[in-house]
A and B are shown apart, each in its own frame.
Chain A
Amino acid sequence: MYPAYEPSSLGHTILALVFYIVTAGFILYSLVALYALLRFGRSKVVGILVSVFYLIMATSLYTAAIIKLNAIRF
């Protein structure tokens, strides 16, 4: 588990807010892409494999970004 978000100042809160808004866009777009793949794709097996692989990648990158966010000190 990555460390829970603990704002240390107003600047950090604003930075975190911007980060989470950008991340929400990323998550929304990712889910739409995966839905389109599973909904319209010819092979469900390929769709599921690609989705699982992408979700693992995206979760890892998101976790790394959260750690970077929490490492910033004002």
Chain B
Amino acid sequence: MHWPKFQQELFPGQQPEERIYLVLHIHWIVLASRILIWLMFAAFLALGDWLVTTYIPILKTPPYVGYIDLLKSVYVMFLTLGLLIVWVMYYLNIQIITNERVVDITQRSLIHHTISELHLSRIEDVTAEVSGIFGTLLDYGHVYVQTAGETERFIFHQVPNPQAIEKLILDLYEQLPKEEKTKE
């Protein structure tokens, strides 16, 4: 059983002397687009109310009005839960860049939590990718980190300022002692 601690490290295995350079979430526009979808569901409530009032006014009279009110209450309960889940998923998905490693904390669903980490010395290649109109205008995209000897890439999805992140990772790699870097 795990009880919340008030003083806790940012990720498991964090060293006391480890310096954190960047903590990343997805770009705010991605969160905004998810909230927009949520708002569309919220708008169904007003739309449904308007449709009932305009086309089926009998549903606004007893005994039907009771069922409609109950349905609306339950719908609002699940809407609130939906908003909580959108925010929790945003809040729990983070990427951390320290002077020693890159950590990717992914919450795929409420009960699927994964933490991957990659030591800077194992990095072979870093690529920033910005695509699409919104990505170009608002400067967000993906960052791919290729590791030595691994076929799978480390991917930061839809993060803000991908070129700066790419540069930061490469700069941190360059600052490593020569004997720690991947042998080519």
Please report A residues at the B interface, Cβ cutoff 8 Å. Answer: 19, 22-23, 26, 29-30, 32-34, 36-42, 44-48, 50, 54, 57-58, 61-62, 64-65, 68-69, 71-74
Contact = CB atoms under 8 A, between A and B. Distances in A.
Contacts, number: 84
The 4 A-B residue pairs whose C-beta atoms are closest, nearest first, are A65-B73, A72-B66, A68-B70, A68-B69
Given A54-B80, A68-B66, A72-B67, A37 B91 contact: yes
Given A29-B81, A73-B66, A36 B73 contact: no
B94 interface: yes
Contacts of B16: none
Given A26-B81, A42-B91, A68-B70, 17 more contacts: A19-B70, A29-B110, A30-B81, A30-B84, A37-B92, A38-B4, A40-B92, A40-B105, A40-B113, A41-B91, A44-B8, A45-B6, A50-B84, A54-B80, A58-B80, A65-B70, A72-B63
Given A30-B81, A65-B77, A36 B66 contact: no
B137 interface: no
A32 B77 contact: no
22 contacts: A23-B74, A26-B78, A30-B84, A33-B88, A34-B84, A36-B88, A36-B92, A36-B107, A36-B111, A37-B88, A38-B4, A42-B23, A42-B94, A44-B4, A45-B6, A47-B4, A54-B84, A61-B80, A65-B70, A68-B69, A73-B63, A74-B63
A34 B110 CA distance: 9
A71 B65 CA distance: 10
Interface in B84-114: 84-85, 87-88, 91-92, 94, 105, 107, 110-111, 113
